[in-house]
A and B are shown apart, each in its own frame.
Chain A
Amino acid sequence: MVEPLLLIKNLHVAIEGKEIVHGIDLVIGAGELHVVMGPNGSGKSTLVHTLMGHPRSAVTGGSVLFRGQDLLAMSPDARARGGLFLAFQYPRELAGVPLRSFLYAAYKQHTTARNMRPRSLLSFQSLLAEEAERLHFPSALLDRPVHVGLSGGERKKCEILQLRVLRPALALLDETDSGLDIDALRVVAEGVQQLRDASFSVLLVTHYARMLQYLRPDHVHVMIGGKIVESGGPDLAQQLEKEGYEKWTRVT
């Protein structure tokens, strides 16, 4: 059997002493796109933060293997260099840190980790310009500090811009669709879909099925109260959009 890209077993996570994620099992294979949907506060962001190594997420049980390695033993930067990427639900403003030089530094870390020769700064600039254009991300913003003064939608685009430059093996997209206008949603979703191949997988957290018209999901999971309560195919997303979570919230 081919080893899955990500293998989560019975993961428990606490924040400030309070358990938020109560035993999650999830397997993501190479090239797959998984969707996690669930009500506010059900622990979706906590789950993806934990996978990225957020210092406040305390893993209280379970294990995670990423490309066969113990992900939980790695620092966030090592996880990133190992091919994991998190597009944040609320991308932060980083005062005084220019996007261009920050991203070049990150890019060089990635290429070095993959034993590749990085592009020169000049060649990197053109890559960046090209990617910005594809996402309709104003190039003037490349010289601004990361996210400072950017609109909600611009920030989400900026996250996907970074994803496209860093080329991870697994992208965790935390509500990347929220805050994007109709056209931006399409551009961003296509920007992700276009990367899809056997060496790129996605875990998408979302509240709406709208992004899925561009991204064909393989699996959809429902997360409620820190647990995955149901998994299914793409149809599940449509169903959730119509019926909501009442069915499970009444039970749990």
Chain B
Amino acid sequence: MTPIFAHINRQILDTPNPAPYAKGAKRGVDEEVVRRISADKKEPKWMLEHRLESLEIFQEKEIPKWGADLSSLDLDDIIYYARPFDYAQGDTPDDWAKVPEDIRKVYDRLGIPEAERKVLAGVGAQYESEVIYHKLKEEWESLGVIFLDMDDAVRKHPALVREYFMKCVPSSDHKFTALHGAVWSGGTFLYVPKDVKVRDPLQAYFRMNAKNMGQFEHTLIVADEGADVHYIEGCSAPQYGSQALHAGCVEIFVKPGAKARYSSVENWSRDTYNLNTKRAIVSKDGTIEWVGGNMGSGCTMLYPCSVLAGDGARCDHLAISFANKGQWQDTGVKVLHLAPNTSSKVVSKSISKNGGTAVYRGMLKVASHAHGCTANVQCDALLLDGESRTDTIPDIQIRNDDVTIAHEASVGKLSEEDVFYLTSRGIPKEEALAMIVNGFIEPIIRNLPLEYAVEMNRLIELEMEGSVG
């Protein structure tokens, strides 16, 4: 485990990389922008109406004041929509050459596939990984799996999309879901039919049009009765937003007896506000599993939520967040036990370093009729130094007695003795710190697919750069 990132540091990741199309685009959001998005995408009328309704809600709602400090977020200064280029014309400019050398090096070291790098760097938006993609595509199609760019799905499967779109996370939820409803663009649509079990994880970048890397992307997953699927969003490599705001939305419907697993690592550049909304509705005997990592963005409010709506539904959340210098990571898990015999398990780990703040804001609700529920919450925080901060703010509302609840929270400081032990074996201090941090999050990493786990460990090493002296 020699440091892989010997010559690069976080600054390189945060080097501004202005998207080529951002020049002269309109800032702020109004009816005109919303209508133009919808027209450009040749959307059906109901979607335009949905956008306009959402816009109204957005204009009425206040910016939430209970979480992270959003006072410097200027919503009128954001470019909500800009057409990078014309897909219909087959116009796919390749500005890879303009991507700074250092950033390309980071991708190299993370081992990100070529095509995906372009998407991440914001210079490529369309790609076909001929061999793997086509093989997988044939396999999915033979199973009846629909795996499309969200924009395409609206046109190709209007009835199916309409049945579920923003029914799990309605626009009226809060200001940023309303904004999302108005200006969403790109993302993933994944439908797995009844009893279909997809063996390999589906990854966003396998899709032919990987246009989901935008900042208002919509992910809609439906696992029909008895289906089984694992979806991996994006990848853990740093993503370069041209805008300071990321307000995506993930909706997952888990039908009776189905199982869905959603993995993602969000690593937006430091100047980004990451205000993402993710929620799953789980029916009878269904299972949702969330595995998530959050680093990067300067300010995050992200609380993946499981609504256990059917008898015997289960959810499992694994979350890691890393708050480095100047970062406020306000994350947490929400679980609503709305049916009897439902069970939930939450493991959250946060790391604060160099003055960073990690807040765990969890919610656990058990409805009065939801008897025989089991809930298990464990959140551990690791503080790497004296300036860093962490806080746990649990909101627990239990409306009946027939439940088993365990809630554990721990705050640990980096142990000088542990560091001494590792360094006494010849391991340099910085690497020793990375080992300890990786050890701390190991219970979560263990559940990631291998390549993903390796990437995550490397990202931690990267965040640990410059920890010494």
> What is the interface of chain A, defined by CB distance below 8 A to chain B?
52-56, 75-77, 79-81, 85-86, 88, 91-92, 94-97, 101-106, 108-110, 113, 145, 162, 166
Contacts and interface: CB of A to CB of B under 8 A. Distances in A.
Contacts of B427: 77, 80, 102, 105-106, 109
B442 A95 contact: yes
B431 A97 contact: no
Contacts of B436: 94, 97
B100 interface: no
Given A97-B436, A105-B1, A113 B426 contact: yes
Contacts of A105: 1-2, 427, 431, 435
A76 B423 contact: yes
B87 interface: no
A76 B420 CA distance: 7
Given A53-B424, A75-B423, A76-B420, A97 B429 contact: no
Interface string B299-330: 00000000000000000000000000000000
Contacts of B423: 53, 75-77, 80
24 contacts: A53-B424, A54-B420, A55-B416, A76-B424, A77-B426, A77-B428, A80-B423, A80-B427, A81-B426, A88-B421, A94-B418, A94-B436, A96-B440, A96-B441, A96-B443, A97-B436, A102-B425, A102-B435, A105-B1, A106-B427, A108-B2, A113-B426, A162-B425, A166-B426
A97 B421 CA distance: 12
A86 B440 contact: no
A119 to B, nearest CB: 15
A56 B425 CA distance: 18
B170 interface: no
Contacts of B374: none
Contacts of B417: 92
Nearest to A165: B425
A101 B453 CA distance: 15
A81 B429 CA distance: 13
A105 B433 CA distance: 13
Interface string B441-466: 11100000000000000000000000
B422 interface: yes
Interface size classification for chain B: 20 to 34
Nearest to B438: A96
Contacts of A145: 439, 442
Contacts of B416: 55-56
A75 B442 CA distance: 28
Nearest to A88: B421
Contacts of A110: 426
A110 B438 CA distance: 22
Contact of A92 (B418, B428, B438, B443): B418
Contacts of A92: 415, 417-418, 421
Contacts of B442: 95-97, 145
Interface in B401-425: 415-418, 420-425
Contacts of B1: 101, 104-105
Contacts of B422: 94, 97, 102
Contact of A77 (B2, B429, B439): B429
Given A53-B423, A80-B423, 19 more contacts: A55-B416, A55-B420, A56-B416, A76-B424, A77-B424, A88-B421, A94-B422, A94-B435, A95-B439, A95-B440, A97-B422, A97-B439, A102-B422, A102-B425, A105-B1, A108-B2, A109-B428, A110-B426, A145-B439
A70 B428 CA distance: 19
Nearest to B442: A96
Q: Give 8 nearest A-B pairs by CB, closest first.
A: A96-B439, A96-B442, A80-B426, A106-B425, A109-B426, A76-B423, A97-B439, A77-B423
A106 B428 CA distance: 9
Among B1, B431, B438, the one with the most A-chain Cβ atoms within 10 Å of its Cβ is B1
Nearest to A172: B424
Nearest to B2: A108
B348 to A, nearest CB: 15
A88 B443 CA distance: 27
B425 A166 contact: yes
Nearest to B425: A106
Contacts of B425: 77, 80, 102-103, 106, 109, 162, 166
Contacts of A103: 425
Nearest to A110: B426
Given A52-B424, A92-B418, A106-B426, A97 B435 contact: yes
Contacts of B415: 92
A89 to B, nearest CB: 12
Contacts of A101: 1
Nearest to B419: A55
Among A77, A102, A105, the one with the most B-chain Cβ atoms within 10 Å of its Cβ is A77
A109 B427 CA distance: 7
A105 B429 CA distance: 13
A102 B418 CA distance: 13
Interface string B1-35: 11000000000000000000000000000000000
Contacts of A166: 425-426
A66 B87 CA distance: 69
Among A79, A85, A97, the one with the most B-chain Cβ atoms within 10 Å of its Cβ is A97
